[in-house]
Structure 1
Amino acid sequence: MARSANVKVALRVRPLLLSELGQTNIIQYSSPTQVCLGNRKSFSYDFIFTESSKQSEVYNESVFPLVTAFVEGYNATVLAYGQTGSGKTYTMGTAAGDATMLKDDFGVIPNVVKRLFDLTQKESDVEYKVRVNFCEIYLGSIKDLLCPTRDNNNLQIRGVQKTGVRVAGLTDVDVCSYDEIMAQLELGTLHRATGSTRMNTKSSRSHAIFTIILTQSRKTKGFDVYDDSKDGKEALEQEIRTSKFNFVDLAGSEGLKQTQTVGKRKREAIENNGGLFVLGNVISVLGDPSKKGEYVPFRDSKLTRLLEDSLGGNSKTLMIACVSPASDNFKQTLDCMEYANRARNIKNRPVINRDPQSQEMDKLRKRVKQLETALSRTAGGDISELLKASSQDSNEIDSNIRQINAHLESENRKNIEDLNLSLQKQKKLEEKIREIEEKHETEIEALSSNLISANNQETMNCQQCGYRVVNESALRQHIRRVHGEKKFHCRFHGCSSKYKSTIEQNRNRHEKIHIFSCPNDQCSETFSKKCNYPKFSAHIQNCRSNL
């Protein structure tokens, strides 16, 4: 069972910039492992590097032990986290290919690579193979920085049970020396997305992950119980170990008001902040003992999906929190220090990454030793005759195993062919999907333009519901369709109803009530209430004068 190991956290404070010299330094150092932020809150970390700390101090004190563990077969991760312009890229050393940079300014990656080849050259009985890959997450897509073609601009993440999370289709380049690794690092850095903002003239606009993969073939001592020629002596067996060292240079967290980014830079900042927000949620869940057993949102972003092994998984991890001491950056510095302090509670489970076959052989070897001990007690201490008698049975078992392996290899070849066919079909489907998406985008743009032109015309509003229409004809259609039924009106009092029979009844009732007759019995003239009253009065006077 793997032993748990907490994530190590280092705090690095960059010096004040020329534009910040008039501001107050908000960070005070209480002890070698504790700092105070503005006399308000104190934080403890495994390592603290002040404004005067050099690159070599950061490497020797915090990163050096990870290189030794990496060569032993453990996975390792160095994660740079912090505000934009706080020195993350400088600390990681991804710009080491710059000819103007001094050797003392080389960051974590160049120092790790140099130490790696120093250690591997000392062990002559171990065969080493080194590979590197480099990718970035830009605007939600994973891009291969060592082979930036169109097909490698939107790679997919695959989860493998035994080897962990990987990026399908990412280019692995074989390297044999320090110069070859640094050349690949420089090549990937040139392809990485960068830009200028108000706070940083060379701001990284993506999350970048540079990975070194070390495969080593070690000769270990085993006990061949079936070979009579060795007479029970030890035999050398081959053990394969494969380990990864991830260097994660995150894009800086940005306040849009503070950086004043617009257009493309604004979209980049929003996307990067989204990934960092999910990373903060992951750290909050893993770093809070009271949330143990809760869902960890690794799959909410591609960044946290790739860091799944580094946070709470099979890796020895160091998080370097880079902060600014300027008073204008107080909020960003506080948030970064809180997340970093919480990350110290995350427990990983690092193990030596042996080849599955080597692990099985190790288990069988231990089982054989246990059986030897039990047999020696039963047979009085001498088991050589028993081992010789079982050699013939072992040969039959070996032949059966070889036949099974041959069958499995043939099946494996068939599966590989089927997989290649599936990948070809998948590429064709992706091309069709891309064409459909482009077609839909053009249609959406056309509809949007039509909608904008329609909105620019003069419109009318329905008085009952406020619905907006283009003209009066459309307004009448809307009223008939939405509000109504046709209404009938009485010619006397103006009362209305949607039923014609009701209006007829009201009309008869109104006529009985509102019909006036001339008071002269000999006159049959009648008048309604709606008639002109002077006309009715004149008619009465005329009738009276005739009486």
Structure 2
Amino acid sequence: MRGRRRRPVGQDCIQPGANPLHQHQTNHQVPEREKQRTEIQVESNVVVAVRVRPLTEDEHNRGDETIVYCPDQHSLLVGASGQERAFAFDVVLGPESSQHAMFQECGMTRLIDMAVQGFCCTVFAFGQTGSGKTYTITGPHSLFLEGSHDALLAGLMQRSLSYLLQLVGQSEEGFHLYASYLEIYNEQVHDLLNPCLPYSLAVRGSRTQGFYVENLSVVEFHNLDSFMRILEGGMQNRQSSSHSQNEHSSRSHSILTVHIKGMSTQGKLCVVDLAGSERVREGDSIEELLEETGNINRSLLTLGKCISSLVDPIKRNGHIPYRDSKLTKLLSDSLGGSGITLMIACVSPTLGNLQETLNTLRYSSRAKRIKNRPMVKRDLREKLVVSLQREICRLRQENLLLQQHLSSAHKAGAGGSGLEAKYSGSMSSSPQHAKDVAGIRTGSSCSETSLRSLLQELMRENDKLQ
């Protein structure tokens, strides 16, 4: 029987209920329910990349036949004896692809750039057990053994955080980075940064936040070393076991979320490592293994139903079964929601895995047709500043138009000279007003009070001119 490994909470770990993101908002008196979103007017398709793993040593020794071929960077052929099936994807990486090539070709830098701007960005790997998902996301298991520091084997997670820290370090805006790490095992949510909790965590939903995990621990980090400590601790607490397909098979879905808190935006980068789909084979009679496999396959089946509904023109505007599993609840923003999503399908190249490979590729082909509507998350303060600036700009244009009408009336001898002189006197007697008008053009650096004051002054002038 496999028990949960326990790891003490690190010194940097913030206890449940003390989320620093919520604290930061409270300090500025901007409650979470008042968060607003600014929408981009274009839809964005889910990007799908496929990675074919190389043959293992055992497969080489058995002389297993390879049935997956990569003619170019966008197409894939599966089959043998002249009965190949063709598939097309955004990116295709063959067995010889390196971890660095995976990071570059999949467009991870663009995804991270968007997260820094305030978007919710997600990358997740899926496929059958032993197809290379965890290797792609975090690198091989040996990378987390004591004394192992092979940077060439680092996965998307480490490379993404390295790039993110570099990006944030070069920015003049003060960013704060926080991380949370959870797993869904047998439909129970566990905090990988605080596994000593005797209970599973609840997944809640709200109109403003969407679905979220209640009381999930959050850790602030400042450099790659502190992040790696978070990652290594979480990896050690994940459910895994030896399997015929994989010596270190992940038996749970894991979601690492990096919150990127800026002055006015709050972006998110989610890295998801799904448990592998598999068939229960003859001899797999251990009750725990059957329960694990059943729960994994049920949650993946629900994910497949959500994808099918999202690409169906009729069902898309109806009911999407997100609530049927905890996994689909937490991925709802990434699939058909307001996020930007990259899916990485990992496949095995051998004939013995043909059926699972075809299932994964069909799954991926449907996912490629999902459309999201990306939105930046802004807080109410920033939205109010933008609204005040827009109103000030409108009033300035209206005042200018009224001045032109007064000037025309004066030139026509219509008796408007007295009123115009009065207006000119009021303008010339207010040099501070001119400074404020010039200052507002510098952007959102002006305080909310200054904007309100200028808006009221322009409204009074507007009334006088009218």
Same fold by TM (over 0.5)? yes
- Shift of residue 389 of structure 1? 12
- What is the alpha-carbon distance in structure 2 between the residues aligned to residue 64 and residue 213 of structure 1? 16
| Structure 2 unaligned regions, length at least 5 | 1-38, 408-419, 434-448, 454-466
* Matching residue's letter, 1:97: F
Amino acid of the residue matched to residue 191 of structure 1? Answer: N
The match for 2:368 among 329, 338, 344 is 344
Q: Which residue of 1 aligns with 2:441?
A: none
CA deviation string 1:453-502 (max 9, x = no partner): xxxxxxxxxxxxxxxxxxxxxxxxxxxxxxxxxxxxxxxxxxxxxxxxxx
- In the alignment, is residue 159 of structure 1 matched against residue 205 of structure 2? yes
State which of 123, 127, 130 in structure 2 corresponds to 1:78.
123
Deviation of the 1:81 alpha carbon: 0.5
Note the C-alpha offset of 1:132. Answer: 0.3
Separation in structure 2 between the aligned mates of residue 117 and residue 101 of structure 1, nearest angstrom: 19
- Range that drifts further, 128-137 or 195-204: 195-204
1:209-245 Cα offsets, whole Å, 9 max, x none, are 011111012xxxxxxxxxxxxxxxxxxxxxx111110
CA distance in structure 2 between the aligned counterparts of 1:349 and 1:259, rounded to whole angstroms: 46
How far did residue 360 of structure 1 move?
2.4
Q: What is aligned with 2:53? A: 14
CA distance in 1, matches of 2:210, 2:395: 35
Amino acid in the other structure paired with 1:37: V
**Retained in 1: the 8 A contact 2:239–2:252?**
yes
Q: Quote how far apart the aligned CAs of 1:257 are.
A: 1.5
Secondary structure at the aligned position of 1:254 is classed as coil
Match of 1:26 among 64, 67, 70: 67
> Partner of 2:185 in structure 1?
138
- Two-structure CA RMSD over aligned residues (Å): 2.4
3-state SS of 2:360 partner: helix
- How far is the alpha carbon of 1:101 from its aligned partner? 5.4
Between the aligned partners of 1:360 and 1:129, the Cα distance in structure 2 is 23
Q: Matches of 1:261 and 1:305 in 2, distance apart?
A: 31
Query: Matched residues in 2 for 1:294 and 1:258: separation?
Result: 40
CA distances 1:402-456 after superposition (whole Å, capped 9, x unpaired) = xxxxxxxxxxxxxxxxxxxxxxxxxxxxxxxxxxxxxxxxxxxxxxxxxxxxxxx
Q: Tell me, what secondary structure is at the counterpart of 2:175?
A: strand
Partner residue, 1:51: 95
Name the counterpart of 1:445.
none
Q: Cα deviations across residues 173-216 of structure 1 (Å, max 9, x unaligned)?
A: 11111110110010011111111122111110100001111101
The higher-RCO structure (CA 8 Å, 6+ apart) is: 2
User: Structure 2 counterpart of 1:88, which letter?
Assistant: K
Residue 103 of structure 1 pairs with residue 151 of structure 2: yes
C-alpha spacing 1:30/1:328, structure 2 compared with 1 (3 Å): same
Distance 1:301 1:282, change over 3 A: same
For residues 223 and 74 of structure 2, the distance between their equivalents in structure 1, rounded to whole angstroms, comes to: 36
* Equivalent runs, 1:76-225 vs 2, <5 Å: 76-93=121-138, 95=141, 96-98=143-145, 99-100=147-148, 102-123=150-171, 125-151=172-198, 153-217=199-263
Q: Distance in 1 between matches of 2:283 and 2:173?
A: 51
CA distance in 2: counterparts of 1:50 and 1:388, whole angstroms: 70
For 1:261 and 1:111, how far apart are their aligned partners in 2?
40
- Which residue does 1:41 correspond to in 2? 85
Per-residue deviation, residues 64-95 of structure 1 (Å, max 9, x unmatched): 21111112221110110100011101100165
- Asked whether the equivalents of residues 77 and 248 of structure 1 are also in contact (C-alpha less than 8 Å), the reply is yes
Would you say 1:251 and 2:275 are equivalent positions?
yes
CA contact (8 A) 1:205 1:251 kept: yes
CA offsets 1:370-404 (integer angstroms, 9 cap, x no match): 2211221112399894796999xx99x88xxxxxx
Change (3 A) 1:264 1:365: same
- Give the match for residue 456 of structure 2: none
| TM-score, L = length of structure 2 | 0.75
Cα deviation for residue 356 of structure 1 reads 2.2
**1:201 counterpart letter in structure 2:** E
Q: Which of these residues, 58, 63, 66, is aligned with residue 111 of structure 2?
A: 66
For the residue of structure 2 that corresponds to 1:42, the secondary structure is strand
* Aligned residues of 2:122 and 2:339 also touching (Cα < 8 A): yes
Give the secondary-structure state (helix, strand or coil) at the position aligned to 2:375.
Answer: coil
Equivalent position SS for 1:213: strand
Contact 1:97–1:183 under 8 Å retained in 2: no
Q: 2:168·2:175 contact (CA, 8 Å) conserved in 1? A: yes
CA distance in 2, matches of 1:313, 1:251: 23
CA change 1:14–1:370 in 2 (3 A) is same
The alignment status of 1:242 with 2:281, answered yes or no, reads no
Q: Displacement of 1:266 after TM fit?
A: 1.5
Give 5+ residue unaligned stretches, structure 1. 218-239, 399-547
Amino acid corresponding to residue 74 of structure 2 in structure 1: T
Q: 1:47-72 CA deviation, whole Å, 9 max, x = no partner?
A: 00100000000101211211111122
Question: Quick check: 1:288–1:342 contact (8 Å CA) kept in 2?
Answer: no
CA distance in 1, matches of 2:181, 2:152: 24
Distance 2:149 2:74 in 1: 30
32-41 vs 52-61, greater mean Cα deviation: 32-41
Q: For residues 326-383 of structure 1, what are the alpha-carbon distances to aligned partners after superposition, in whole Å with 9 as ceiling and x for unaligned?
A: 1001110000000111111111111222212202221221122122112211123998
Contact (CA 8 Å) 1:312, 1:347: kept in 2 or not?
yes
Contact 1:198 1:259 in 2 (8 A): no
Q: 1:371 to 1:245 in 2, by over 3 A?
A: same
Question: Does the CA contact (< 8 Å) of 1:80 and 1:320 recur in 2?
Answer: yes
Q: CA deviation at 1:290?
A: 4.9
Counterpart of 1:76 in 2: which secondary structure?
strand
Structure 2 counterpart of 1:187, one-letter code: G
Match of 2:319 in 1: 295
Q: Greater CA radius of gyration, 1 or 2?
A: 1
Q: 1:255 to 1:294 in 2, by over 3 A?
A: same
Give the residue type in structure 1 aligned to 2:112. Answer: V
Q: 1:345 to 1:163 in 2, by over 3 A?
A: same
The 10-residue stretch of structure 1 (361-370 or 53-62) with the greater mean CA deviation from structure 2: 361-370
Q: What letter matches 2:66 in structure 1? A: N
Letter in 1 for 2:202: Q
- Deviation at 1:162? 3.0
CA distance in 2, matches of 1:75, 1:64: 14
Aligned counterparts, 1:440-455, within 5 A: none
- Amino acid paired to 1:272: I
What is the SS of the residue equivalent to 1:10? Answer: strand
Is the CA contact (8 Å cut-off) linking 2:72 and 2:92 kept in structure 1? Answer: no
Q: 1:141 to 1:388 in 2, by over 3 A?
A: farther
The TM-score, its normalising length taken from structure 1, stands at 0.65
1:23 deviates by 1.8
Alignment partners' CA distance in 1, 2:268 and 2:324? 24
Distance 1:344 1:358, change over 3 A: same
